[in-house]
Amino acid sequence: MTRTLIAQPLTKQAFAPFGDVIEKAGAEKIAINRGNCIRHHALSVADVKGEGSQVGINIFAGKPYALPHTLDMVERHPLGSQSFHPLGDDPWLVIVCSDDDGKPVDPIVFMAGSDQGVNLNPNTWHGVLTPLYNQTDFLVVDRIGEGNNLEEYFFEKAYSVELS
Amino acid sequence: MTRTLIAQPLTKQAFAPFGDVIEKAGAEKIAINRGNCIRHHALSVADVKGEGSQVGINIFAGKPYALPHTLDMVERHPLGSQSFHPLGDDPWLVIVCSDDDGKPVDPIVFMAGSDQGVNLNPNTWHGVLTPLYNQTDFLVVDRIGEGNNLEEYFFEKAYSVELS
């Protein structure tokens, strides 16, 4: 028996338990630069822990994943948030889980538009970066610092992720 | 007599006195996610000052500027770095100045590709966000917090910015 997960649209409301959606819709808007620019303000904030830790800016270059996608593991970063914003034109998948006493449960798959990023709260179980269709670069804002900031969990039985 | 500034290519070396160029070329590369993703690591780090300040993630939606571009003011943010990364497909201009005892001098205009972002060091004089050709969104990582983090300077005589 395959366990199937169907992607749902990424919305601020549905994603709220896991972090922030980084998008213009619904943002606080501030006109700057003599009206030539609209600042969509503080869509999320970085949250890093541990002495000497910093907020770094990185580019992740990700190969696309085929569909249906086999989800056999998730990971989390206890010491910091991690944001992803696509620099390409394709939709992508955001996969998150709730936590039950240290184990990831109830995976949810969100279909994100090319104009949507996310910032995962610290210690939130999530699937690896999952571009679709084309190799895609993502701007990533996360913690730079010492200490173990990665926990992985392999499911006994994989999930099959489908779009519909 | 018009004072003309000609744009030069944006390179890490030329931009180093003002901040970091955020691009894949020349980065530390780390293979992650079973080889499906290359992390271009710590291209820059956010630098914010002041108690209670945070590193925020924003989207700036900027109208394009016509060429030649009239540069009549620059600004700086004493309390934090500010990064810009284009989410569109067009080149854009990065204008910076050196500081001479609190006044901006020697403006330099860089032509940035659509695959190049920058992180301006705190207190670096810079022109406003200057997309070219099309309205463009930029992911911006900068300081969120109390206190005056903006200083503006209007030139007595404007500069004319041209591509060549």
Closest by CA position to A51, among listed A156, A140, A145, A125: A145
Q: For all residues of chain B together, what is the average pLDDT? A: 97
Question: CA–CA separation, A125 vs A51, rounded Å?
Answer: 23
Output phi, psi for A9, to 5 deg.
-60, 145
Confidence of residue B4 (pLDDT cuts 50, 70, 90): very high
**At B31, is the secondary structure helix, strand, or coil?**
strand
Q: For all residues of chain A together, what is the average pLDDT? A: 97
Strand partners, A5: A161
Question: CA–CA separation, A24 vs A117, rounded Å?
Answer: 10
Query: Shortest Cα distance from B129 to chain A (angstroms)?
Result: 8
In percent, the amount of chain B with pLDDT more than 90 equals 98
pLDDT the model gives residue B1: 55
Interval A20-45 mean pLDDT? 98
Q: Are B98 and B14 in contact (CB under 8 A)?
A: no
Quick: pLDDT tens for A93-138. Answer: 999 999 999 999 999 999 999 999 999 999 999 999 999 999 999 9
Domain definitions of chain B by residue range: 3-162
Confidence of residue A1 (pLDDT cuts 50, 70, 90): low
Cβ distance A55 to B62 less than 8 Å, yes or no, reads: no
Q: Cα A91 vs. chain centroid, distance in angstroms?
A: 13
| Rg (alpha carbons) of chain B, rounded to whole number | 16
Question: CA–CA separation, B7 vs B109, rounded Å?
Answer: 5
Cβ distance B45 to A61 less than 8 Å, yes or no, reads: no
Decide: residue A37, CB within 10 A, 0-12 exposed, 13-18 middle, 19+ buried: buried
Tell whether the model's pLDDT for residue B2 goes beyond 90.
no
| ipTM of the complex as predicted | 0.97
Cβ distance A58 to B40 less than 8 Å, yes or no, reads: yes
Quick: pLDDT tens for B104-121. Answer: 999 999 999 999 999 999
Quick: pLDDT tens for A128-158. Answer: 999 999 999 999 999 999 999 999 999 999 9
Question: CA–CA separation, B83 vs B145, rounded Å?
Answer: 16
In percent, the amount of chain B with pLDDT more than 70 equals 99
In percent, the amount of chain A with pLDDT more than 90 equals 98
Tell whether the model's pLDDT for residue A35 goes beyond 90.
yes
Interval B21-44 mean pLDDT? 97
Confidence of residue A22 (pLDDT cuts 50, 70, 90): very high
pLDDT the model gives residue B116: 98
pLDDT the model gives residue A96: 98
Interface with A, mutate which of B22, B29, B55 (most A CBs under 10 A):
B55
Shortest CB distance from A57 goes to which of B36, B43, B56? B43
Q: What's the token pair of residue B84?
A: 């810009």
Q: Are A90 and A141 in contact (CB under 8 A)?
A: no
pLDDT the model gives residue A68: 97
pLDDT the model gives residue B5: 98
Whether pTM > 0.80 for this model: the answer is: yes
How far are the Cα atoms of A49, B24, B69 from residue A100, in angstroms, in the given order?
22, 38, 57
pLDDT the model gives residue A64: 98
Domain A3-162 listed as CATH 2.60.120.480: yes
Q: Are A139 and B85 in contact (CB under 8 A)?
A: yes
DSSP letter at A34 equals G
Q: Which residues of B touch A120 (CB under 8 A)?
A: none
Contacts (Cβ under 8 Å, ≥6 apart) of B16: none
